[in-house]
């Protein structure tokens, strides 16, 4: 119950833009339910991105990737969609500030493949912010 409360409070904080509070609530939580685990880890990744904490994000991405590969109880399509999302977040963080062609190219690729990418709407939102 406490983990569920912390998760939902973190969601509220995220929408309020209280990113430090989100990280405090979610950083060390582990859920028995794999769905909550994936959602919480996704929220941490988004928060690191929004805080421009790219070193922490890169480290967290790697630990998330390992988590996905270790947990064999995650359905193959779900695992693949999160691994794809990780790949696109990495590419998003590596775009140069004024690389309009790179943003356009990545946006078109995400649009084409959005059915195979977890949180694709978030990636597209961040790409739109770079325009």
Examine the pLDDT at 30 and tell me if it is beyond 80. no
The b-or-e profile of 47-75 (16+ CB within 10 A means b, else e) is bbbeeeeeebbeebbeebeebbeeeeebe
Residue-wise pLDDT for 102-116, tens only, equals: 999 999 999 999 999
What Cα–Cα distance (Å) separates residue 126 from each residue in 91, 105, 115?
12, 14, 18
Whole-model pTM: value is 0.91
Q: What is the mean pLDDT of the chain?
A: 94
pLDDT of residue 32: 83
């Amino acid at each position: 119950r406490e983990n569920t409360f912390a998760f939902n409070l973190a969601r509220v904080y995220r929408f309020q833009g209280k990113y430090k509070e989100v990280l405090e609530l979610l950083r060390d939580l582990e859920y028995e339910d794999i769905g909550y685990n994936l959602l919480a880890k996704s929220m941490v990744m988004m928060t690191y991105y929004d805080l421009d904490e790219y070193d922490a994000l890169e480290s967290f991405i790697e630990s998330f990737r390992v988590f996905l590969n270790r947990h064999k109880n995650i359905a193959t399509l779900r695992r693949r969609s999160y691994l794809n999302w990780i790949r696109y977040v990495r590419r998003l963080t590596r775009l140069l500030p004024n690389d309009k062609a790179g943003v356009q190219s990545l946006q078109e690729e995400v649009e084409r493949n959005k059915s195979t990418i977890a949180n694709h709407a978030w990636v597209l939102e961040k790409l739109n912010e770079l325009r």
